[in-house]
Structure 1
Amino acid sequence: MKKMLPDDIRKQVQGLGIRHTSAGPFRGVGLKHPGIRFPSAPWLVAVLAVFVLLSSCAPKSGYKDVSVQELQAASEPNRIVLDVREPYEYAEGHVPGAILLPLGQVATQAAQLPKDAPVYVICRSGNRSAQASRTLVELGFKDVRNVQGGILAWQSAGYALER
């Protein structure tokens, strides 16, 4: 392998369309293209950092995660509690007033529910309810709330189950 001298390296770098100024690390490094000016690395990093910061502060579209305490305290008169477990699990005990709609039927049966009412979605531990919550949002439901921890958290909090 041939030992490269600084001039050889500079020629190869220029051939790649990369320019460099010696004003500090990364300063002035960018691509060259006729008629197009590409941003230097520090500027690009700053723009990406601002984008990430703003996107993390933006309101999350979709459903909202809530605790079992928030469900217990919910006082909306038109609220719906949707239990997405299987029928045998529901029969073992569920949140008082909950409607059974197993996860596998959410996409096809959810149209029977009002899309503008608050919908609290619960399952055993919070995994199936998160899936159902995403599906409901995709179907156009406006106020979907995933109950974190599910029935297990409900029972751990000491709340009664209906059988």
Structure 2
Amino acid sequence: MERSPGSAIDSVLAKARAGVRRLTPEETLAAGRRGALLIDTRTETQRREQGEIPGALVIDRTVLEWRLDPLSDARIPEAVGHDLEIVVICRQGYSSSLAAESLRSLGLWRATDLVGGVEAWLEAGLPLSSGPADVRR
């Protein structure tokens, strides 16, 4: 991803990450094993090319907040309260930081993301599957 130093998006990203403990691939795997919601926001093409994160729920970024807000009529069954541990996953760990910040603004205070995204997961040699994914619409 090509980024200009000092760009407006760099400032937005820094603000989204300020004071947030983001997780390594190994910490994300452990979080999923203890019951955290792993939320994959990658596109279908990215998932097909890179593989699926075992146990992750796939939620399109365009509906993420509605599906995870416990007070939303459009929530998924797992969105049972504001105390949920949520780890958002994207391809490289940029858009996931913005998505996690948006979830925290809804009161989902434990929302965070995977540092480096699925690319870091792959580099760590962690398990992937070829699907099928648990896609939530």
Q: TM-score, normalised by structure 1?
A: 0.57
Specify every segment of 5 or more residues in structure 2 that has no aligned partner in the other structure, as ranges: 1-17, 70-74, 131-137
Greater RCO (CA < 8 Å, at least 6 residues apart):
2
1:66 to 23, 33, 36: 23
How much has 1:124 moved relative to structure 2?
0.3
Identity percentage over the alignment? Answer: 27
After TM superposition, what 4+ stretches of structure 1 lie above 4 angstroms from structure 2? none
2:64 to 95, 101, 106: 106
Structure showing greater radius of gyration is: 1
Aligned to 1:80: 37
2:91 to 106, 114, 124: 124
- Partner letter of residue 104 of structure 1? T
Aligned to 1:90: 47
How much has 1:75 moved relative to structure 2?
6.2
- Partner letter of residue 119 of structure 1? I
User: Matched residue pairs, number?
Assistant: 103
Give distance in 2, aligned partners of 1:73 and 1:139. 25
Specify every segment of 5 or more residues in structure 1 that has no aligned partner in the other structure, as ranges: 1-58
Q: TM-score, normalised by structure 2?
A: 0.66
Distance change >3 Å, CA 89–CA 75, structure 1 → 2:
closer
Give distance in 2, aligned partners of 1:151 and 1:76. 17
